[in-house]
Chain A
């Protein structure tokens, strides 16, 4: 510490007038606290590492054996499907709800508000179980004219598989959240933008699609990625209604072998892989919508890789505001 402080003290070199000093040769100011925290972190990591290696209950050999187990990989695939389909419903139907909320039509506005109230106000898990058991409420499901003839009808128990209930349940719940994300994003766009667009005679739909939505995307993309990551993990709830996703597959194995901890670690590793891949894509999408804006994308494992990839691709300095393309 002492030496670092002495080093930090500015040297007043009288022989060289200040105006002649070339700052290109400047050293960085010493940062002693970085070294102190690095040391502390090193010690803690070493301890954690030793514990993980020494403690036999981790059963790393079992982890390694099951990481690419076909049942686990099948569960991983189901998790991916569930995430993609439920998010697709959430993103699209959420967009419809958000559009309803800002239309001039009071009926649509009320519908959207009521929907969001119910679906955001009750637990995801309860909704999942509810959809899975919808047959108790409506034994038959059909398509037809309200109070009129029915064109197609089926037994609810046959149609509502765990997978179907999971996609519908997670998707409809997600739509309520997405609608709010869109709304917040649209609110974040300066009203002057709408004024300007209206002043040149743009129609409401054009203003929404070309002016407000693209600018709102900057505020919509980060929370939406949080939601996708949340959804990846929320699919594990589907194990409760017997959907054969990642956690369910791990449970199936450890209920036979009682190797609970190693199989949960296997599941966690795959969840981490999925979320890291998502962070990786988030980096590029955020960079795309940051056009014309001055901002930075935060760092985590996924964005760290993405940043290096994009630097390799452009073979130049990191993409900055000055050269957005």
Chain B
């Protein structure tokens, strides 16, 4: 790995009130990698992901994307926070898929996908429409283009939200437990879209409880516990021969706990 990583997180700290949620996370992601992030509930996975596109402002450390500091700029008088408008431009370089989809309910499926390209990338309506329909086709939903999100199943909604993220032509895709809100029967349709993206060379960070998906699609697995990276290595090594005892317990609990209770607790 000689060239610069696409994403570089250095010693990231974040606290809410008195609880320190991130306690010095460091993580590099190279172009084309698919990184699965595992960890117990409350360990800080979402917070880390939300710092990457600056939905949360970290307290210390740094994040850079393609060599550019996220959320801040360096001036002669030291670092300065960017304004929301300046950050917006940076955010358009990443795409995010949320646990609860967060589709815009007042817009049709197609408009959910095209509005970003029109308002942020400056595409004209017909170009955006063409792009939107093509992306909806790749997630298998072109015939639902004129439906409203409420009338789609959870799995379909999540596929639309993946199309919405892809429409920005992002360099990095962030997934925060994309299948946790889905019926078990709908998980596969979403993970298979994600698998195809991973195979197609997209750079992705996927917070997930789906060990099966991690095994099939991730090039690397990172385990977070109590706001720290406790394990980081190739998928097979982390899943089959974890070094950290935290990872071992976590994998046991997730694999057997999930199977016996029949549900992934948040």
What residues make up the interface of A, taking CB atoms closer than 8 Å to B? Answer: 190, 192-193, 195-204, 206, 210-211, 214-215, 291-294, 321, 324
Contact = CB atoms under 8 A, between A and B. Distances in A.
A201 B123 CA distance: 14
Given A201-B92, A204-B84, A291-B106, A195 B168 contact: no
B148 A291 contact: yes
Nearest to B97: A199
- Which 3 residue pairs across A and B have the least CB separation, nearest first? A201-B92, A196-B102, A199-B96
Nearest to B146: A325
Interface stretch (B29-37, B113-121, B256-264): B113-121
A190 B99 CA distance: 14
A196 B91 contact: no
Contact of A203 (B88, B93, B150): B88
Contacts of A201: 88-93, 116, 120, 168
A293 B88 CA distance: 29
Nearest to A211: B104
B149 A195 contact: no
A200 B168 contact: yes
Instruction: Give the dominant DSSP class at A's interface.
Output: helix
A293 B104 CA distance: 11
Chain B interface residue count: which class?
35 or more
A202 B106 contact: no
B184 interface: no
Contact of B102 (A192, A203, A210, A293): A192
Nearest to A193: B102
Contacts of B250: none
Interface in B47-97: 50, 53, 55, 84-85, 88-96
7 contacts: A192-B100, A195-B55, A196-B161, A198-B88, A199-B96, A200-B168, A201-B89
B162 interface: no
Given A196-B103, A198-B88, A292-B148, 18 more contacts: A192-B102, A195-B55, A195-B96, A196-B98, A196-B102, A196-B164, A197-B104, A198-B53, A199-B55, A199-B165, A200-B91, A200-B95, A201-B91, A202-B120, A204-B85, A292-B105, A294-B150, A321-B150
